[in-house]
Amino acid sequence: MYLCRVNFIKRLIKPLLLLHFLILLSGCHTSRFIPENGYLLTKVGITSEEKHIGTDELQAYMPQRPNNKWFSLFKVPLGIYSLSGRDSTKRFNRFLRHLGEAPVIYDRGRTVQACTNMQLSIRNMGYLNAEVFVQEKPKRNKMNIKYHIVPHERYYVRDFSLNVQDEALGRILDSLHYQPNINRDVDGKVKPYSINSLESERSRLYDLLVENGFYKFNKEYVHFRVDTTIGHHMADVEMIVRQTQQGVDSTDFSHHQYHIGNVSYEFPQGKSFLRPKVLRNATAISKGQLYREADMHETYARMTRLSAVMATNVHIKDRADGSDTLDVNVSLTPNKPNSFSAELEGTNSAGDFGAAASLTYQNRNIFRGSELFNLKLRGAFEAIKGLSGYADQNFIEYSLEGGITFPDFKFPFLRSSFRRNAQATTEVNLAFDSQDRPEFHRRVLTGVLRYRWTRMNRQLQHRFDLLDLDYVFMPWISDTFRDKYLSDPQNRNAILKYNYENLFIMNWSYHLVYNSRPLGASASNYGTNAYTVRLGIETAGNLLYAISNATNAQRHAEGQFTYFDIAYAQYAKFDFSFSKSFLINKNNSVALHTALGIAYPYGNSTILPYEKRYFSGGANSVRGWSVRELGPGSFQGSDGRIDFINQTGDIKLDLSVEYRTHLFWKFDGAAFIDAGNIWTIRNYKDQPGGQFRFDEFWRQIAVAYGLGLRLNFNYFILRLDGGMKAIHPAYTDSRRHYPLVHPSFKRDFSFHFAVGMPF
C-alpha cells in the first residue's frame, strides 16, 4: 500500500511542477507592465471594529480588485497577459492580451474616494461619526491594502412623528391601518437610526398608496426632518407627507384616489385577433376598481405570455372633465401565427452511426384564444454493426407528436379568483413512436393532460399531470433475442422480460419547484443565499387496481390483473432534490446538490417499468461513469447488450459539490466531486449486490472527481466534463475499489458533453 501511494504522488509531481513554473514565469513577466513607482494590487480586505457592520455589503464600494484567480488560487489570466510583449501592434501579443487580463495597477486616488463612499454608507446606517481608514502595505512593486472601519457610537430613534398635510389622505391612511415602522421593532425595543430604514419606509408608503388608487402619488411627496442634537446619541424623526404641487391657479392641493373607467383594446387595422373572453382573462384591471400599479404590471405579464401576442402597450389617460377616473387602452401587436422548422442531426450510439430528421409545424392562435398548437414528425435511421443471428441489421424509428397548450386553466369547478391570480397553462399532448430494431419492434402510444401554474413572482412553480397514459406494444420479437434472453431457463432475466412485454401505464403526478431568487432578481443580491428545491410525487395503477378488485376481475397466468389482455403497472414514486449556491465573488462560487429518489412497485407489479427506473452515471450524475454504467449497489454487469436494463434501480442518491470559476472571455471552469449510486428495493437474482440495506449502502456509494469546461453564452451553456473514478463499489480488491490511489486513465476516465448546468 505504501508503494502504491508513492507511485501516485510521483504521478502528480510533474504536472504540479509545470504549473508552478508557469505561474513563476508569468510573475516575472508581469513587472514589465508595472509603471515606475507603481504597484500591482495583490490583496484587498475590509475589517471593522463593529461586528454588526457587514463587510460583504461594502465590497461594492471597492473601485479596484486584484486580478482574477482561477479557483481562487491561480492568476492564470494575468499570466497569459504577461506573456505578451510590449509591442501591441503584433497580432500574437494582441491575442494574448485579449485572452488574458491586464495587471491591476494600484490607484490611490480611487481608493481615497472609496473611503469617502464607504464612510457615507456606514453613516447612513446610523453611525454618524464613522471613519474609514486605508492601510497600505507596499512590498517591492506590489501593494496590499486594507480598509479599516471605526464606526464609533450608533444613533437610535428616540421619538417619531407622522405629519400628513392632506387631511383626507390622513383619514385614508388610518382606514388602511398604516403604521410607520421607524422607531420601534415588534418587541417594542428602540430601533437604530438609519437613512436606509427611512428610505425603506418611504417606499413602503408609496407602494401602499399606488396600490390603493393614488395614481399620481410619488416618493418626492415624502420628506423627513431629523434632529440629532438632543444628545446621548439619539435622534428625533418627523415623517412629512406633503400636499400636491398644482399649478399657480389651482386651489386643490389634495392627493386624489383614482378609479378605473373604460378599458379598451386597440389592434392593427382595428381588427381583433383574440376572442373577448381571452382578452378579459388576460387583463388584470376592470372598470370601477381602484387603480393598482401591480394590476398594470400583471396585465403586461399576462399579455406577454400569450403566444399570439408579440408586443403590448398599456396607456393610462386622464379624463378631460377632470374627474378622478382613468381610462385604460391596451394596444396589442399580433405575433406571426404560423411557423415551420426543420432539424437534421447525426447520431452515434456506441459506434453505430445514423441520422435523424424532424419537421415541426406551430400555430400560435389556432382557435383565436392564443392556443399554441404543435405538430412534429420525426424519423431516424441507424446502421447497427456487430449483431449476429438477426435478419435485419438496421434501426428505423419514426414518431408523430401533437399537442395544444391553452393559456389558462381548463378545469371545471375552479374558483375564478384562483384563475385570475395564477399564471397557468393547460396542455393536451398525444404521441406515437414506432421503433424497429433487429432484436424487436416496439410501439409506444402516449397521452397527457397537464396543468402548469405559478404566482406573480414565479418563485413557486407547479405541474400537475392529471392523466398520463402510456401504452407499450411489442408486435414482434426475434427468435434469437427471445431464445437467448427471454425464454432460456438458464439465462432468464425477469427484469428484462418484464420490459419486453405489452404494458399499460395510467398515472398522475405532481411536481413542485421553488427558487429562493425572485424572478428578475440579480445574482449579486441573492447569490449567497440562492437555493432551489424540487419535489415530485407520482402514482400509477391505483384506480385500475381498485376497479379490478371491485369487479372480481380474473388474473392472468403471471398473477396480474389485465385490461384487454394487457397488464398494467402499479407503483408509487417520490423525488426530492436541493441545490444551493454560495457566491464567493463575481468570478467564483461553490454549488452544492443533493437528490434522493424512491420508487416502489406493488399490487399489480413487482418490477418498475424501465422508463420509471433510476440510473446513475452520465453528465448529470456521478460523472466518473458513463450513463447507466453504475450500480445498482455493488452489481457488476456481465453482458453489455442487456446491462442497460440491469443497471437500473428503485432508489437513487446523488451528492455533488462543484467549485465554479470564470476563466476568460466566454469560458468558465469547474472542479467537482460527485458521489452516489442506485439500489433496488427487492432482491432480484439478476442484480446480485443491488438491494438496498441500511447496514451496507454507505459502503456502496461511488465517488468521482474531475474538471469541467463551460462555454457560457448566457442564454445557453455548452458543457464539457471529464470525470475520474475515485471509489468503485463494484469491486472489493483495493486496486480496483480505490482507483483514486491506483488511477488508470483508460479505465477510469469518462467524458461528457451536455447543454446546461448539471444542477
Residue 358's closest CA among 340, 341, 338, 343?
343
**221: DSSP letter:** G
Q: What is the CATH number of the domain that holds 471?
A: 2.40.160
Are residues 113 and 176 part of one domain? Answer: no
Instruction: Give a yes or no: residue 739 inside a domain.
Output: no
| Average pLDDT score over residue span 147-164 | 92
Q: What is the pLDDT of residue 391?
A: 66
Q: Which of 115, 131, 150 is the last residue of a domain?
A: 150
Contact call for residues 160 and 191 (beta carbons, < 8 A): no
| Confidence band, pLDDT 50/70/90 cuts, at residue 170 | very high
Number of H helices, E strands in the chain: 16, 27
Q: Please name every residue paired with 575 in a beta bridge, in sequence order, or none if there are none.
A: 536, 597
Query: pLDDT-derived band of residue 168, with 50, 70 and 90 as boundaries?
Result: very high
At residue 27, the pLDDT reads 52
Mean pLDDT, all residues of the chain: 86
The CATH number of residue 66's host domain is 3.10.20.310
pLDDT bin (cut points 50, 70, 90) of residue 406 is very high
Q: Is there a single domain that holds both residue 456 and residue 385?
A: yes
Domain membership flag for residue 728? no
Which amino acid appears at position 388 of this protein? S
**Cell 469617502 found at:** 116
240 HSE (CA, 13 A, CB side): 9
**Cell reading at 165:** 398635510
232 and 368, same domain (yes or no): no
Q: Are residues 225 and 125 in the same domain?
A: no
Rounded to an integer, what distance in angstroms lies between the CA atom of residue 536 and that of residue 474? 30
- Has residue 246 been placed in a domain? no
Residue 475 has a pLDDT of 92
Domain that holds residue 411: 352-654+684-701
More confident residue, 87 or 528: 87
In three-state form (DSSP H/G/I as H, E/B as E, the rest C), the secondary structure along 282-342 is HCCCCCCCECCHHHHHHHHHHHHHCCCEEEEEEEEEECCCCCCEEEEEEEEEECCCEEEEE
Instruction: Supply the pLDDT for residue 451.
Output: 95
pLDDT at residue 322, as a whole number: 81
Same structural domain, 532 and 421: yes
pLDDT at 145 over 50: yes
pLDDT of res. 1: 42
185-231 pLDDT, tens digit each: 666 678 889 998 999 999 999 999 999 999 999 999 999 999 999 98
Residue 4 has pLDDT above 50, yes or no: no
What's the CA gap between 445 and 443, in Å, rounded?
7
* First CA to last CA distance, the chain: 37
pLDDT surpasses 60 at 408? yes
This prediction's pTM: 0.83
| % of the chain surpassing 70 pLDDT | 89
Residue 518 lies in a domain: yes
Q: Which of 92-96, 336-340, 510-514 has the least mean pLDDT?
A: 92-96
Same domain? For 85 and 174 the reply is no
Same domain, 275 and 196: no
Q: Are 282 and 249 in contact (CB under 8 A)?
A: no
Residue 79 to residue 31: CA distance in whole angstroms: 11
User: 532 and 390 in one domain?
Assistant: yes
Q: What's the number of domains the chain is made of? A: 4
CATH number of the structural domain spanning residue 210: 3.10.20
Tens digits of per-residue pLDDT, 344-403? 887 666 556 788 999 999 999 999 999 999 999 999 998 877 666 666 678 899 999 999
Judge if 640 and 544 occupy the same domain.
yes
- Residue 561 pLDDT more than 70? yes
Of the residues 150, 181, 213, the one at which a domain ends: 150
Q: State the average pLDDT over residues 603-619.
A: 91
Element (H, E) at 95: helix 91-99
Same-domain status, 134 and 207: no
C-alpha cell at 65: 480588485
Final residue belonging to a domain, choices 130, 150, 170: 150
Asked whether the predicted pLDDT for residue 266 surpasses 90, the reply is yes
Q: 391 lies in a domain?
A: yes
Residue 245 pLDDT: 72
The 10s digit of each residue's pLDDT in 19-35 is 555 555 445 567 788 88
d(CA 724, CA 738) in angstroms, rounded, equals 11
Residues 718-737 have a mean pLDDT of 92
Give a yes or no: residue 402 inside a domain: yes
pLDDT, residue 29, reads 67
Residues 78, 175 within the same domain: no
* Residue written as grid cell 449567497: 528
Instruction: Choose between 598 and 619: higher pLDDT.
Output: 598
Cα→Cα distances 492→441, 485, 690, Å: 20, 6, 18
313 and 390 fall within a common domain: no
Q: Is 725 among the domain residues?
A: no
Q: Where are the beta strands (DSSP E) in 140-228?
A: 142-150, 156-164, 222-227
Amino acid occupying residue 498: Y
Cα–Cα distance for residue pair 627/647, rounded to 1 Å:
10
Largest CA distance in the chain: 103
Question: What is the edge-to-edge ordering of all strands in the sheet holding 40-48?
Answer: 40-48, 142-150, 131-139
Confidence grade of residue 8 (pLDDT, cut at 50, 70, 90): very low
In a domain, 42, yes or no: yes
Cis status of the peptide bond prior to 151, with omega within 30 of 0: no
Q: What is the DSSP letter of 616?
A: B
Question: For position 578, what pLDDT does the model report?
Answer: 97
Give the rounded percent of residues in the chain with a pLDDT score beyond 90: 55
pLDDT at residue 651, as a whole number: 97
Query: For residue 47, how many C-alpha atoms fall within 13 Å in the half-sphere facing its CB?
Result: 7
What CA–CA distance (Å, rounded) separates 70 from 104? 16
pLDDT digits (tens, 9 = 90+) for 454-494: 876 678 999 999 999 999 999 998 888 888 777 766 555 77
User: Is 367 in contact with 308 (CB distance < 8 Å)?
Assistant: no
Residue 528 confidence class, pLDDT cut points 50, 70, 90? low
